[in-house]
Chains A and B, each alone.
Chain A
Amino acid sequence: MGSQGGFGQSKEFLDLVKSIGEARSKAEEDRIVLSEIDILKRKLLEPDVPKRKMKEYIIRLVYIEMLGPDASFGYIHAVKMTHDDNLLLKRTGYLAVTLFLNEDHDLIILIVNTIQKDLRSDNYLVVCAALNAICRLINEETIPAVLPQVVELLNHQKEAVRKKAIMALHRFHRKSPSSVSHLISNFRKRLCDNDPGVMGATLCPLFDLISEDVTSYKDLVSSFVSILKQVTERRLPKSYDYHQMPAPFIQIKLLKIMALLGSGDKNASEIMSMVLGDLFRKCDSSTNIGNAILYECIRCISCILPNPKLLEAAADAISKFLKSDSHNLKYMGIDGLGRLIKISPDIAEQHQLAVIDCLEDPDDTLKRKTFELLYKMTKSSNVEVIVDRMIDYMISINDNHYKTEIASRCVELAEQFAPSNQWFIQTMNKVFEHAGDLVNIKVAHNLMRLIAEGFGEDDDDADSKLRLSAVESYLQLISEPKLPSLFLQVISWVLGEYGTADGKYSASYISGKLCDVADAYSSDETVKGYAVSALMKIYAFEIASGRKVDVLPECQSLIEELLASHSTDLQQRAYELQALLALDSRAVETIIPLDASCEDIEVDKELSFLNGYIQQAIESGAQPYISERERSGMFETTDYHPQDHHEVPSHTLRFEAYELPKPSVPPQASTELVPVPEPSYYSESHQPISTSLVSERESSEIKLRLDGVKQKWGRPSYQPTTSASSTTQQAANGTTSHSDGGVGSSSSKPRSSYEPKKPEIDPEKQRLAASLFGGSSSSRTDKKSSGGQKPAKGTVNKPATVPKENPTPVQPPPDLLDLGEPMATTVSTMDPFKELEGLMDSSSQDGGSNDVMGLYSDAAPVTTTTSVDSLLSELSDSSKGNSRTYQSQTSKGPNTKEALEKDALVRQMGVNPTSQNPTLFKDLLG
């Protein structure tokens, strides 16, 4: 113990620390600490404790509290000590209160006055101590009490005080932005402080301010760049060097600020590119701090508008990082790669091996970072490898927090890129098996829906094969001990629906398994409910097919047990099951039809069965009902089926919205361009059209039309899809979905509406991927095309799309292309229809289509000048393109589902996606 000099301590303290250090067990340590607390309590109560002694007691208190126990009995003494005139005691007091108290503590009020006094002190050390305390002890209410003094200190002669005053002000800003909003200009002013340390300190609050509001600080871009330039040119005093690097922390902060300011700003990015290039050349990559700056440069470059030269330099730096032996640098390299890959996707390929190495590294941190990178790199071609890896890793870790995260990523990737449905189900099984309690319940519902709806293969064969394989895999898994509840729900549901579907397994075998589940997880009511409903379905299918049902004794006892269950839900299910067993086969068939889980449940929201009654009432002089939307004069979307229209003689429900657009129908538009609602209904019900296709076709239609038309024709031609969905099984479905726990009812579409279109998908999609996007770039486009989840991209790209489609003199200025997101430009050169698709999606999501109209009113002159021939060729082009994009879109089960869900949502919201009669194009194109 060579040196206890400096802040001298007594022997007692020394002994305390020593004995704690030598404590063999936690219990021994606790005993020592508790006895120390007793001693301190006693000593603090003694009258006239000498100040030096008191100071030591306080330090001992701080130490004790760090070890765990509560030392609040001594807080008041620490507060008292801050009032002392002796700087040393004062400092100790401040130190103790900053460690003891939170800003809302009752004792703070006793300190505020002292702080105010100390801020005015002549001794700058006292001022510093007070500023230090402010950062921890001042809350929103007490800020005004010290604010004036702190502001005054911004002009203190000592730079150390100025620095700390700025930091304190920054702290106030973080705690309560409104209290210092009028003082923000001070930060700008202090940026010009002649002390570099003070200037560096202002960068911290400025960084915060700029990340909140970029635009108001654009004027500072050149200042920041010139500061950075001066720093890198070693204009600062030597004392700011750190390991031969000039003011590295200032450089890093500046680069962070520049990344904020430069993102999406062409001018700013250009100003910065020069100094960034210099930094790459000058940075010493042999020291840690040099690499820190290099990494910050990479980050900055990935944020600002891409510059090929800088990207190259960044890529070089990354490959240096990845090749290094240091795990820290590898980590930074992987992180940098993940950032850069968004801009230039090809960069990953040359580092494949390094990435694989990192994946197998024993370092957990590095592994996780690499998984994050892989997640960003995933595309349909590599999804199997990546997700398998992720799942293996997920199984191997115990950290629930990260397990949840990686499980949800697996699900996300699997849903997005699943190459085959078989694989998807297997992947989901694994995720459920190992992290079932951690994933979102929606994932389970999606999986059930997917199995129920099939994947759109034309032949039911494939669907039933898939279901069989699901059933088989579940029967294998079901006997595993301790499956997650969510997974058991899925298993029970699938076994109930499809367990006996193709005769491979007998009803008694499946029902035996289900009983086992209900027994083994008897504390889980949800699982039990699912199991009982599944049993009911199994028996119903048996009865319906005319076989005799032998209820297994264990099932019988289960039912009896549940009849007396405390849970009313379970009780009801049991009673239902019991009642069902007594019914004859025809009744059962109607109640629970075979494989009807995804049929639509027809809910006649229009109450059309009351039409006759209404008619009578109106005839006898009643006022017609005006819907709320009409009353408020909004775009009317309540659809009446065309046949209903005949039944209702008056125009009661459609007067406003249908009359309005009439004048805007261009008289020159040939009649076949304008679909009449009724034919569209009939044709559409026979010839199923996915809504995404419909909306796509619509896009080429929009081009021909001016405002208003779309709205008019959109609605009536769309609603037949709804009416087509009504099936004869409506009534029966009520019960099915009830027992399904709501899964069946959430599927919004009859299968007939999209099934027939699937067969040509896979080869088509591959061709598309191969021909349009070589290499890794396809991943992004895939993502984009799936269900149009990123409508924003489409909107951003609008300027780029228009010139492509209209080979007319009206060309937007070239720099328009640069306005979009950096990555979007590369895509747009590849396939304009992708953009078109995104665009349409956005329009159908907005419901209001204002954007689209705005866009096309810009393009209107183009359209009108185009000759009929070019129109036709455009149309055929675009419809080709549309069918291509449509295929890529519906290539995966989940994506179709998403599109449908979205569609359903849109309908719910009362905003119909504007769709178009498909026969229109037939007529046009022959």
Chain B
Amino acid sequence: MIKAVMMMNTQGKPRLAKFYNYMPVEKQQELIRGVFSVLCSRPENVSNFLEIDSLFGPDSRLVYKHYATLYFVLVFDGSENELAMLDLIQVPVETLDKCFSNVCELDIVFNYSKMHAVLDEIVFGGQVLETSSAEVMKAVEEISKLEAASNSISLVPKSVSGWRGR
């Protein structure tokens, strides 16, 4: 199962962290720092996989992807497929692509609850639930509609811009 989803910037500031098993706050911080210190020591053009038993206990792997100023990190156990997890990172990214135009790092913080809504549609209780970004969009839009109704703030037109990693 998937143990954690993390997003952090290249300075190591956490932008989003979600652990699928409860972790005390201090432990979360420790893990985020640990993951970041491993990630920033990785050279360019190497594999996106890491075995990370030392942080998350036996049989823990990590897949990460580097987007501009952001690291997107998935931590999971041996029952998942590394390559597939790498593609799973693509799903929220594609979805965000559709949600925001010209997404930048701070959008993730400003739209914190939306980010979580997107993630919750994709990964549910540590299992992959949905991999089609169109479906995720549909679900998130329904929630957004309610928001729009209650906030009377119009939805941002979902123009698709090429926000892709590097």
Contacts and interface: CB of A to CB of B under 8 A. Distances in A.
Contacts of B156: 3, 5-6
Nearest to A172: B125
Given A1-B106, A86-B150, A239 B124 contact: no
Name the residue in B47, B100, B126 with the highest tally of chain A Cβ atoms < 10 Å from its Cβ. Answer: B47
Contacts of A243: 87
Contact of A65 (B25, B100, B127): B25
A191 to B, nearest CB: 15
Contact of B129 (A163, A365, A368): A163
Interface in A22-72: 52, 59, 62-63, 65-70
A2 B102 contact: yes
A302 to B, nearest CB: 14
Given A3-B102, A5-B155, A66 B14 contact: yes
Interface string B140-162: 00111011001101111000000
Interface string B10-46: 0001101110101011001100000000000011011
B93 interface: no
Name the residue in B16, B43, B129, B154 with the highest tally of chain A Cβ atoms < 10 Å from its Cβ. Answer: B129
B14 A402 contact: no
A793 interface: no
Contacts, number: 192
B99 interface: yes
Contacts of B112: 7, 59, 62-63
A288 B153 CA distance: 39
A91 B54 contact: no
B83 A66 contact: no
A170 B135 CA distance: 22
A648 to B, nearest CB: 56
B79 to A, nearest CB: 7
A135 B119 CA distance: 14
Contacts of A102: 22, 24
A78 to B, nearest CB: 12
A135 B102 CA distance: 33
Nearest to A58: B113
Given A3-B100, A239-B134, A368 B51 contact: yes
A21 interface: yes
Name the residue in B43, B49, B104, B153 with the highest tally of chain A Cβ atoms < 10 Å from its Cβ. Answer: B49
Given A160-B139, A170-B127, A399-B54, A6 B132 contact: no
A5 B153 contact: yes
Contacts of A170: 125, 127
B159 to A, nearest CB: 10
Nearest to A329: B83
Interface in A379-414: 399-402
Contacts of B49: 328, 331, 365
B117 interface: yes
Contacts of A135: 20, 124-126
Name the residue in A5, A86, A91 with the highest tally of chain B Cβ atoms < 10 Å from its Cβ. Answer: A5
A207 B77 CA distance: 14
A327 B50 CA distance: 12
Contact of A289 (B24, B28, B87, B139): B87
Nearest to B117: A91
Contact of A362 (B28, B46, B107): B46
B143 A17 contact: no
Question: Main SS of chain B's interface residues?
Answer: mixed
A171 interface: yes
Contacts of B110: 1, 4, 9, 13-14, 17
Interface in B61-91: 79, 81-84, 86-88
Contacts of A88: 143, 146-147, 150
B128 interface: yes
A366 interface: yes
A332 B83 contact: yes
A402 B54 contact: yes
Nearest to A65: B25
A292 B84 contact: yes
A249 B25 contact: no
Contact of B132 (A65, A87, A240): A240
A718 interface: no
Interface in A554-582: none
A258 interface: no
Interface residues of A, number: 83
A909 to B, nearest CB: 32
A87 B146 contact: yes
B151 A249 contact: no
Contacts of A132: 120, 124
Interface in A597-655: none
A197 B51 contact: no
Contacts of B144: 6-7
B46 A167 contact: no
A30 B105 CA distance: 20
B13 A21 contact: yes
A256 interface: yes
Nearest to B86: A288
A588 B79 CA distance: 64
A365 B130 contact: no
A95 B113 CA distance: 8
A252 interface: yes
Interface in A73-114: 86-88, 91-92, 95, 99, 101-103
B150 to A, nearest CB: 6
A481 interface: no
Contacts of B139: 160
A280 to B, nearest CB: 16
A258 to B, nearest CB: 14
Nearest to B88: A249
A363 interface: yes
B84 A252 contact: yes
A2 B100 contact: yes
A59 B135 contact: no
B84 A249 contact: yes
Interface string B92-120: 00000001111110110111111011001
A7 B147 CA distance: 7
Name the residue in B16, B87, B153 with the highest tally of chain A Cβ atoms < 10 Å from its Cβ. Answer: B87
Contacts of A292: 81-84, 86-87
Contacts of B146: 87-88, 125
B105 to A, nearest CB: 8
B53 A239 contact: no
A366 B48 CA distance: 10
Given A292-B81, A327-B45, A331-B49, A95 B116 contact: yes
Contact of A17 (B87, B106, B113): B106
Given A327-B46, A363-B47, A17 B100 contact: no
A248 B84 contact: yes
B100 A328 contact: no
A125 B151 CA distance: 18
A8 interface: yes
B68 to A, nearest CB: 14
Given A168-B125, A328-B49, A288 B83 contact: yes
A531 B113 CA distance: 65
7 contacts: A18-B106, A59-B113, A62-B112, A69-B25, A132-B120, A242-B132, A328-B83
Interface of A: 1-9, 13-14, 17-18, 20-21, 52, 59, 62-63, 65-70, 86-88, 91-92, 95, 99, 101-103, 125, 132, 135-136, 160, 163-164, 167-168, 170-171, 197, 201, 204, 207, 239-243, 248-249, 252, 256, 288-289, 291-292, 295-296, 326-328, 330-332, 361-366, 368-369, 399-402
Nearest first, the 10 closest Cβ-Cβ pairs linking A and B are A292-B83, A5-B156, A327-B47, A401-B54, A102-B22, A135-B125, A363-B46, A292-B84, A204-B127, A171-B125
Given A160-B139, A239-B135, A292-B87, 9 more contacts: A3-B103, A4-B107, A5-B100, A5-B156, A66-B16, A66-B28, A95-B116, A170-B127, A363-B47
